[in-house]
Amino acid sequence: MLDTLEELKTKALGELKNLNDRSGIEAWRVGYLGRKGALTKILRSLPELAIEERREAGSAANKLKALLEESLTNKQESLKKADIERIMGESRIDVSLPGYPVRLGRLHPTTQILRETSAIFASMGFEVVEGPEVETDYYNFEALNIPRGHPARDMWDTLWVDYTDEKGERPMLMRTHTSPMQIRFMERRRPPIRVIMPGKVYRYEAIDATHESMFYQIEGLAVDKGITMAHLKGTLYEYARRLFGQDRRVRFRCDYFPFVEPGVEMAIDCFICKGEGCRVCKNEGWIEILGAGMVHPDVLRRVDCDPEIYTGFAFGMGLERIPMLKYGIDDIRLFYSNDLRFLEQF
Ligand code: FA5
């Protein structure tokens, strides 16, 4: 019996040594240690042996069982380790390498200027309010002294919303300026009023270096007792100085807008040619950035505000023109064409 056990040991360990796959190892286990395995059979036959032989053979068989079980565990462990090494080698994971840097986004130049502008006006006591981009004819034109058929409608090439009301008219449009917010705000609030109202506006426009069909405006409105043109000029001078520095020149000239009287336009000297004339300023030396004026008495009356008691100023500024001036950007089309080479400079 001892010889049989010795033979079994040599055979089993020899076979196990050459095995390299899980199914082979499992077959080996079943063959030697399973319910009908070779060693199990020997262990079961021990009671048939004579008492002397049984003791010796029993001890040897149990030792062999322990040896085979331990060898099996070792083999399984080394196989697992080899598997891990193979996977690590294949996918080349080096956990000690630093990770990829996270690319941080940044604020769009329009957003940056909008925030800077809002902060400057806020420091002068103006609040910030937003309004709808799809407007009615009433707020965009009628309430601003521009009735149907008025030639001033030609100043704003309008994108109309494809909607017809019961009277067969098209009353909805994409707002062409932020001025409708003057009416919306004054309908709800009594003077004293100091507010800026930024947002997108839309025009059916021939696009060039300084004209887009979608751009931002900031509307400003101040209504109170005793507001004069001097307040308008002082406020806008202060804004220009804070944003562009003391040496920038500012020009006010008479202009016409039906909802202000008198009306002006404000321009800043061209940053490219320093006033000598170039493509960007269309050889004028100046770039117009806003329209402004004293709120028309009829506009005040329309919102139940007595023009004998209250006066006010309003302005509407093209927002993209501000970073163009500040950073020397010579084409407005760069703002919304999503070119990272441009956007990453801000
Ligand atoms: C208006 O839109 C008036 N609502 C401004 C106003 C408000 C006047 C309050 C009086 C009182 P205008 O069409 O000129 O005005 O536009 C105002 C500014 O928007 C311009 O000075 C210019 O800076 C900018 N702007 C106009 N058209 C474009 C365009 N196509 N692309 C980019 N900016 C533009």
Please give the pLDDT value at position 176: 96
Active site residue 246: no
Beta bridge partners of 222: 194, 313
What percent of the chain has pLDDT above 90? 58
Of 57, 175, 177, 286, the catalytic one is: 177
Tell me the CA–centroid distance for residue 62 and ligand 1, in Å: 99
Pocket test for ligand 1, best of 159, 179, 182, 265 (most atoms within 8 A of CB): 179
* Cα 326 to Cα 182: distance, rounded to the nearest angstrom: 27
The protein residue with its alpha carbon nearest to ligand 1, atom 27, reads 211
Query: What is the Å distance from ligand 1's center to 7 Cα?
Result: 102
Dump strand ranges (E) for the chain.
127-128, 134-136, 172-174, 193-202, 214-224, 250-255, 260-269, 286-295, 311-318
Please answer whether residues 312 and 231 qualify as being in contact, where contact means their C-beta atoms are separated by less than 8 angstroms.
no
The whole-chain average pLDDT of the chain stands at 90
What's the rounded mean pLDDT across residues 37-65?
88
State the pLDDT at residue 56: 87
pLDDT score, position 165: 84
How far CA 84 is from CA of 54, 80, 96, in Å, comes to 45, 6, 17
What does the pLDDT look like over 67-104, one tens digit per residue?
A: 999 999 999 898 888 888 887 777 677 778 888 888 88
DSSP-derived pairing of the beta strands 286-295 and 260-269? antiparallel
Q: Is 231 a catalytic residue?
A: no
Question: What is the rounded radius of gyration, in angstroms, for the C-alpha atoms of the chain?
Answer: 43
Whether residue 113 has pLDDT greater than 80: yes
Beta-carbon count within 10 A of 190 CB: 11
DSSP string, 77-118: HHHHHHHHHHHHHHHT--TTSPPPPPPP----HHHHHHHHHH
- Does residue 318's CB lie within 6 angstroms of at least one atom of ligand 1? yes
Question: Among residues 201, 223, 314, 321, which one is catalytic?
Answer: 314
Ligand 1 atom closest to Cα of 182? Answer: 9
Task: Grade residue 51 by pLDDT with cuts at 50, 70 and 90.
Answer: confident
Which atom of ligand 1 is nearest to 207's Cα?
Answer: 30
Confidence class of residue 271 from pLDDT cuts 50, 70 and 90?
Answer: low
- Is the separation of the CB atoms in 312 and 300 below 8 Å? yes
308 within 8 A of 276, measured Cβ to Cβ: no
Structural domains in the chain plus CATH codes: 2-90 (no CATH), 109-343 (3.30.930.10)
Assign 29 a pLDDT band (cuts: 50, 70, 90).
very high
pLDDT digits (tens, 9 = 90+) for 277-315: 887 677 888 888 899 999 999 999 999 999 999 999 999
Percent of the chain with pLDDT over 70: 99
Question: Is pLDDT of 241 > 70?
Answer: yes
Contacts of 313 (CB under 8 A, 6+ apart): 220, 221, 222, 227, 229, 231, 232, 235, 292, 293, 294, 295
| Position with higher pLDDT, 229 vs 272 | 229
pLDDT, residue 245, reads 79
**What pLDDT sits at residue 209?**
87
For residues 8 and 6, give the distance between their C-alpha atoms in angstroms, rounded to a whole number. 5
Q: Which helix (H) or strand (E) holds 211?
A: none
Closest CA to 222 of 209, 207, 236: 236
Compute the average pLDDT of residues 197-226. Answer: 95
Q: What distance in angstroms lies between residue 319's CA and the mean position of ligand 1's atoms?
A: 9
The pLDDT tens digits of the residues spanning 130-168 come to 999 999 999 999 999 999 888 877 778 899 998 888 887
Selection from 69, 63, 3, 84 nearest residue 37 by Cα? 69
